Amino acid sequence: MSKQEYKYIGQSTPRIDGKEKITGATCFVDDIQFGPNLLYAAVVESPHAHALIEKIDTGRAAKVPGVVKVVTGKEFPFRFGLYMHDRYVFAQDRVRFVGEQVAAVIARDPSAAKKAAALVEVQYKELVPLLNVFDAIGEHPKSIIHPELKNYAHVPWFFPEADSNIAHFRKVRRGDIEKGFAEADLVYEDQYVVPRYAHCAIEVHAAVGLLDNSGRLTLWTASQSPHTQRHLFTQALAPLGFTHQDVRVISPAVGGGFGGKAGVSMEILAAALATVVKGSHVKVLWSREQEFYNTYQRQGVHARLKVGVKHDGTITALEQTLYWDAGAYVEYGANVVNAAGLSATGPYRIPNIKMDSICVYTNLPPGGPYRGFGYSEFIFGLESHFNEIAKKLNMDAVAFRRKNAIREGDTLAYGGKMNPNGLLEAIDKVAQAIEWDKEFPSTDPNIAVGKGFSLFWKAPAMPPNASSSAFLKFNEDAGLNILVSAQEIGQGFLTAMAQVAAEVLGVPPDRIRVESPDTDRTPYEWQTVASHITWGCGNAVKRAAEDAREQIFDLVEKTLGKKRAALYLEDSAVKSLEEPEFNLPLKSFVIDGIIMADGTWRGGPVTGRGMFMPEFSSAVSDPETGQGGKPMVHYTVGASAIRIEIDKETGKIRIPKVVLAVDAGQAINPGLIRGQIVGGLLQGLATVLYEDMRFNDKGKLLNPNFTDYKIPTALDIPAEIVPIIIEVPQPDGPFGARGIGEHTMIPAAPIVANAVEDALGIRIKSMPITAEKIAMAIKKMEENKK
């Protein structure tokens, strides 16, 4: 019998002495929104990374006063998943990572739930855990983590290998790789390692579920994906009779997402548990520890690179194999592997390509979406490798990149054509801003100074039919409400959508309110991920506004006889190019209509409807070559550079200046873009300089807290951050705009790695590049000189 680990997951809002006075009455804060019958849950977690479940005894737990229900996997033997149906609500016959939920206790107060969870007894038979990709994909792996892999439903662009630990194998082949290497004057090979990372949103995951007496299941979730969550909840619970109209997801503002609150992770617990206590709300709230080990983590990757170049710096061939540590379940994470595999050339013109991106099951926590969606990981190795090649050619690192940078119309790895972009302009402006050609000699013999440069790109990683929709309605005062299901996660989406509608309708943005997602009230949106919302949802909002504008012009033309071609909207009124004195306030008719000479009315409430789907996109391709289709709708590109100072004794890095330029297409709100550049760079610098996820040899995370998992503070911010906005319009974007939200953190790791090499002559090929790692490398270099 194994001692169980448990975590209480239902604590309510912090309060003084556990209670709060409200107008003379004493009540729990949670009671205010969800009523006095709110129930709390505690989960029983696996202490093993890989084991068979032989027996679960809930008898003692069920007898604890206040316990309402004890639930195990037998109540929910249903698989679900976004791209691969490989996950269960609760573990069934086996557990696959430390912390996986095995059972849950629902009780009337938190202490009872916690006490009962500790009394659930589970008997396990331990199996060999596979904790790194090479143990998992060896010729004879010691175990198969998903024996039923061949039976899992998945999207048609995934290629799992049955009876193995390979969940997806993305191949890309173009040109003649052997010929490319034969033509090269220099062939250089090396390997680079990027570990796992946590999202570190300050707001932890939380969800409340209610199955009411009408059979309606409602979830309140902190989510980037309310409609996708509804779909996956329905998918998982369909055997219980639930359909999409029976499930509602309400998502208020999210306190940090970065991909960690996309798709479905712990929220499925609130949905499932609510179905067994009909009529009562059930609250699930992750602790900070659970936030680390039982939500999506950024996947680790081991990259093997081989590149051929001519003496003049022209790249002739790229061979790259990416081994992704995807964790115990890949229902979302495999798409990270797929997207990165299609784009792992980086923003470069390379005629001969062989790339393999391999999604590997391990017995670590599930990997999933994280800001950058795999691009930060492969860019670290690629840009580090290109810097080493430039050095071997005795060629300037910026000149090497400029020579090989991709241009509009160039052929992409999968055979498509590159969209219009300002990459060359970004390179030049970043080089100028960082003063690339200027020497910065150190005045302190203990301080080494270096500069690093990197390019970056990213495409929205999404299914070809990912769509956005919008409703727009005027109010009596000509103010507007926009109903959409994209989510505000700090990127400024609410402001940007108001600006798009304002541009079309001639109404000030501050008279427009953009509503929060509610799947019963707001129309469909795939997810707030992939940096596609400005582009996709922006197009839907623009079309909804244009729909409303055409209704207005129809009405004015029909009732007042005004020439339609001369009408325009400005200052919340209809005006005419042919009649400067004509001014018809929108508030005078957008609800009431326009009165006719005979006393009748025409018109009525003006509402707009818009939808956008990238109908030109296709994920269909040859599984052996990756050629065909158009899996990437467009790429956003940019460049970044940094200047650092390194203390040779401690390895501590100080950053006097960092620069990043990104091509936004058309900057709808420059202030928000500059904010994203600063925020993205800081998050990226955190992953390369501070964050370090540690597991023991049993697969248990050793530092699931902000004491041991280091993140930077305000004292660690670079002295100067220079944001640069490039504008080369995206032809199919709203007013030419494209997304930039994830891209701004992607180059952080390689610019630091390249600057460290420039300063010390030491190439660090694994992240993070902490002060300790630098100091140890300096010590080793000095010892080798003796």
pLDDT band at residue 116 under the 50/70/90 scheme: very high
* pLDDT value of residue 31: 56
What are 33's two structure tokens?
């929104």
Tokens of 651: 């390895």
Report the predicted TM-score, pTM, of the whole model to 2 decimal places.
0.95
Active centre residues (catalytic)? 742
Short-list 106, 88, 4, 74, CA closest to 46: 4
Exposed, middle or buried, 468 (CB in 10 Å: 0-12/13-18/19+)? buried
Structure confidence at residue 22 (pLDDT) = 29
> How confident is the model over 471-514, as pLDDT tens digits?
999 999 999 999 999 999 999 999 999 999 999 999 999 999 99
Q: What is the pLDDT of residues 196-233, one digit of tens each?
A: 999 999 999 999 999 999 999 999 999 999 999 999 99
Q: Measure the CA–CA gap between 309 and 60, rounded to whole angstroms.
A: 68
Let me know the angle formed at the C-alpha of 261 by 260 and 264, rounded to the nearest 5 degrees: 105
Check residue 138 and give its pLDDT.
Answer: 83
- Are 153 and 85 within 8 A, CB to CB? yes
pLDDT of residue 27: 38
pLDDT of 4 higher than 60:
no
> What pLDDT does residue 30 have?
57
**Residues 556/567, Cβ–Cβ less than 8 Å:** yes
Separation of first and last alpha carbons in the chain? 56
CA nearest 249: which of 526, 533, 517? 517
Q: 160: how many CB neighbours lie within 10 A of its CB?
A: 21
Confidence category of residue 33, pLDDT binned at 50, 70, 90: confident
pLDDT tens-digit series, residues 141-200:
999 999 999 999 999 999 999 999 999 999 999 999 999 999 999 999 999 999 999 999
Chain length of the chain: 786
SS3 743: helix
Contact, 659 vs 678, CB < 8 A? no
Per-residue pLDDT tens over the stretch 228-268: 999 999 999 999 999 999 999 999 889 999 999 999 999 99
Helix pair angle (333-343, 375-392), 10° resolution = 30
Give the Cα-Cα-Cα angle 452, 454, 459 (nearest 5 degrees): 155
Average pLDDT, stretch 392-399?
98
Residue 465: closest CA among 359, 608, 616: 616
* Alpha helix positions (H), 489-532: 493-505
Q: What is the pLDDT of residues 761-775, one digit of tens each?
A: 999 999 999 999 999
Which DSSP helix (H) or strand (E) runs through 403?
helix 397-404
For the chain, percent helix, then strand, then coil, each to nearest 5? Answer: 30, 25, 45
Cα 343 from Cα 374, distance rounded (Å): 10
Q: Is 600 exposed, middle or buried (0-12, 13-18, 19+ CB in 10 A)?
A: exposed
Q: Is the dihedral of CA 728, 729, 731, 737 positive or negative?
A: positive
The one-letter amino acid code at 761 reads G
Q: What is the DSSP string of 229-251?
A: HHHHHHHHHGGGT--GGGEEEE-
Query: Burial, 289: exposed, middle or buried (Cβ in 10 Å; 0-12, 13-18, 19+)?
Result: middle
Cα gap 233→231, rounded to integer Å: 6
| CA–CA distance, 313 with 396 (Å, rounded to integer) | 10
Residues 721-733 have a mean pLDDT of 98
Closest CA to 703 of 195, 135, 11: 195
For strands 39-45 and 281-285, give the pairing.
Answer: parallel
CB-CB contact of 61 with 327 (8 Å): no
Pick from 77, 123, 103, 92: nearest CA to 7: 103
Rounded mean pLDDT of 272-298?
Answer: 97
Strands 315-327 and 353-361: parallel
Closest residue by Cα to residue 629 from 162, 262, 170, 176: 170
Strands across the sheet with 121-126, in order? 94-95, 51-57, 121-126
Q: How much is the mean pLDDT over the chain?
A: 95
Which pLDDT value is given to residue 785?
85
Handedness of CA 696, 697, 699, 700 (dihedral sign): negative
Separation of alpha carbons 661 and 404, rounded Å? 18
Give tens-digit pLDDT for 516-559.
Answer: 999 999 999 999 999 999 999 999 999 999 999 999 999 999 99
Q: Give the C-alpha separation, 185 to 544, whole Å.
A: 56
Tens digits of residue pLDDT in 410-440: 999 999 999 999 999 999 999 999 999 999 9
pLDDT digits (tens, 9 = 90+) for 652-700: 999 999 999 999 999 999 999 999 999 999 999 999 999 999 999 999 9
